A and B are shown apart, each in its own frame.
Chain A
Amino acid sequence: MKHATKIHSKLLMAAAITMILVACKSTPMKDNAAVEDKSAGTSTSGASDVTSDASDVKGAVIDGSSGDGSINELNDPNNILSKRNIYFDFNSDTIRDEFRPNIEAHAKYLQAHSNAKVTLQGNADERGTREYNLSLGQRRSVAVKTALNLLGVADSQIETVSYGEENANPACGDDGCYQADRRVEIVYPNE
């Protein structure tokens, strides 16, 4: 009972604060000019049926699934194939030389495993709009695909996709942090 009273007085205080805030925002009125009817007619009257609002909405709950987590050459931390991120400069889709060995290793794996499929997931940092970043992430994933193609990997083994800025870190404040978000992830969907 005491507890309930405490909550109640808190609410009253919040209500009082709201009242004060509202009062502070009011400015004293200077002139007493009459309101003007600015719409077309002189007087409006009528009746109307109200039949809809936001509560008439039905939604959907969606849950996806993920892999089984077993260890193989692709996710063995000592194998270069476990290095799955290719990083990019701001607003760029140019693959930097330091990532060539990584891409070559994945090309070799895909050629040796012709049934293996890979998805290249492009990402962008959070600066700019979500749709533009989705396109930018896509261009990065295509840059990695083109590199794999040039190394002999078949188109049928590669899908490109972009997550844009959806996986970006929302707490970034410097380029070191943004850099980590500007990447293509090499994902083997069946692992």
Chain B
Amino acid sequence: MHIIKFIAFFTIGFFSLAANAALDIEITGGGAQQTPIAVVPFGNAKSIKEDMAKIISDDLYRSGLFRPLNSSGMPNLPTNAAQINYSEWAALQAQAIVVGSISPLPDGRLNVSFQLADVFKQQPLVDMDFQLQAKHARMTAHKIADVIYEKLTGHPGAFASRIAYVKKLGERHFLYVADSDGYNPQSLVNSNEPVISPAWSPDGSKMAYVSFEKKKPIVFIHTLTTGQRKIVANYKGNNSAPAWSPDGKKLAIVLTYGANSQIYTINASGSNLQSITKSRAIDTEPAFSPDGKWIYFTSDRGGKPQIYKTSANGGGEVSRVTYEGAYNVSPRFSPDGTKLVYIRNDGGRFRVAMQDLTNGQVQLLSEGSQDESPSFSPNGRVILYATKKGTRGSLASVSFDGKVRQSLSEARGDVRESAWGPMLK
């Protein structure tokens, strides 16, 4: 009886993966530090199509910090903390247990109740209820996983967030937004011309990007929920590399009025264009520091491309940030502003490097040869980037300490231009 249940569980899991996930995920690393945790199937789980316990369990597994245990052979499957027979779960060597149940509300929504308990102390650590429409069950499971992650690691989770990436399939270019685990991919743009440089607004409601649909690069802002698209910058020459100011009011962009790419700021409405850099070199790939005071950018003013910084108000001094290596580009900040990730050409291999801005130390994090577009997760614990497997692009991520690696690959198409968005409210 248990065997039949077991297979059915995994078969359903496989079906839903094939139907909804664009990205297949494989993780390596983590190892000795993993906390064994049992995520018990939720009570009344069959009333919705999403398997919330499995989503939570998969999130925790992918972090590399947890080892979800298989509870299918257990004599009792509790659905609330009062039902937990702690000695049974201690025998399974679980250190923590997650239980929950789903019940309908009179207004047609659902109530999801969950508890996280410490198996050895035999006491609940968290007791929460969520009210939601059934279609938000996946995201609710990610939020629950975030609560568990934070309670057990001391750091906020980032499962309830989204990523953006570009996929080229045949001659078409798609800009996708998907959940952080690759599920629910939604095409924001589907174009016969390239789309590059997606940039999330700080509140996650809008995406700025560069589209070549008018046969030249133009900066658009796309409102996610309405589909409304607005041209922010369409000046003579190139318009590219949008980066939001932390307050979401301005964008740093790159224009080629004269010859070379130079950095400007512009209001999100498209007004008030202001010049930030004035050089005879290439200045591009701006990024605001999280305190809004600085713009870091790539420049080849010293001969080879390196990262520099200048005042976000323009007109100030420009100082160099990277010194190691002959080619450092694409700076992106950690949410707390203490770390910078960028791409280094390391003897012909383009790899993700992370610089600690408090002490200047640099660590090479990725192991590819054509890695691009690094961005931090909203909790600052993971860096998402684009890499190449053979001739096809795919996505990968690495924890900030280099210990846990994930590979996220699509069955078809060439994936690139990744950007991790903010937490969902």
Of the listed stretches A59-67, A74-82, A105-113, name the one at the interface; the rest are far from the partner chain.
A59-67
User: In the complex, which residues 1-54 of chain A have their Cβ closer than 8 Å to any Cβ of chain B?
Assistant: 11-12, 14-16, 18-19, 26-27, 29, 32-39, 43-54
Q: Find out whether the CB atom of B138 lies under 8 angstroms from the CB atom of A45.
A: no
Question: Which residues on the A side are within 8 Å of B213 (C-beta)?
Answer: 62, 64
Query: B425 on the interface (CB 8 Å rule)?
Result: yes
Looking at A51, A131, A134, which has the most chain B CB atoms within 10 Å of its CB? Answer: A131
Interface size class for chain A?
35 or more
Tell me the bound Cα distance from A53 to B130 in angstroms: 15
Query: B51 on the interface (CB 8 Å rule)?
Result: no
CB distance from A153 to the nearest CB of B (A): 16
- One of A15, A43, A45, A48 near B11 (C-beta < 8 A): A15
Q: Find out whether the CB atom of B211 lies under 8 angstroms from the CB atom of A62.
A: yes
User: In the complex, which residues 309-365 of chain B have their Cβ closer than 8 Å to any Cβ of chain A?
Assistant: 327, 329-330, 343, 345, 350
Question: Which residues on the B side are within 8 Å of A171 (C-beta)?
Answer: 391
Query: A58 on the interface (CB 8 Å rule)?
Result: yes
Tell me the bound Cα distance from A43 to B147 in angstroms: 12
Q: Find out whether the CB atom of A136 lies under 8 angstroms from the CB atom of B211.
A: no
CB distance from A90 to the nearest CB of B (A): 12
User: With A38-B151, A130-B196 in contact, is A29–B93 under 8 Å at CB?
Assistant: yes
Q: Find out whether the CB atom of A27 lies under 8 angstroms from the CB atom of B31.
A: yes
Q: Find out whether the CB atom of A127 lies under 8 angstroms from the CB atom of B350.
A: yes
CB distance from A45 to the nearest CB of B (A): 4
User: With A18-B14, A50-B136, A52-B136 in contact, is A44–B147 under 8 Å at CB?
Assistant: yes
Query: B410 on the interface (CB 8 Å rule)?
Result: no
Q: Find out whether the CB atom of A35 lies under 8 angstroms from the CB atom of B196.
A: no
Q: How many residues of B are in contact with the other chain, CB < 8 A?
A: 105
Query: B102 on the interface (CB 8 Å rule)?
Result: no
Q: Return the CB mask of B8-46 against A: 1 if under 8 Å, else 0.
A: 001101110000000000000001101110000000000
Question: Which residues on the A side are within 8 Å of B327 (C-beta)?
Answer: 128
Tell me the bound Cα distance from A132 to B16 in angstroms: 39
User: With A47-B128, A129-B330 in contact, is A34–B192 under 8 Å at CB?
Assistant: no
Query: B191 on the interface (CB 8 Å rule)?
Result: yes
CB distance from B330 to the nearest CB of A (A): 5
Query: B267 on the interface (CB 8 Å rule)?
Result: no
Q: Find out whether the CB atom of B188 lies under 8 angstroms from the CB atom of A59.
A: yes
Q: Find out whether the CB atom of B153 lies under 8 angstroms from the CB atom of A32.
A: no
Question: Which residues on the A side are within 8 Å of B196 (C-beta)?
Answer: 130-131, 134, 164, 166
Query: In chain B, what residue has the closest Cβ to A187?
Result: B215
CB distance from B372 to the nearest CB of A (A): 5
Of the listed stretches B217-225, B376-384, B398-406, name the one at the interface; the rest are far from the partner chain.
B217-225
A residues near B, CB below 8 A?
11-12, 14-16, 18-19, 26-27, 29, 32-39, 43-64, 119, 126-132, 134-136, 138-139, 142, 146, 159-164, 166, 170-171, 189
14 new A-B contacts at CB < 8 Å, known A16-B10, A131-B284, A170-B391: A12-B7, A27-B67, A32-B95, A34-B121, A43-B124, A46-B128, A52-B424, A52-B425, A54-B184, A56-B224, A131-B254, A131-B330, A132-B329, A136-B282
Pairs A–B under 8 Å by Cβ, sample size 9: A18-B13, A38-B151, A52-B136, A53-B424, A54-B177, A56-B225, A62-B189, A131-B329, A166-B212
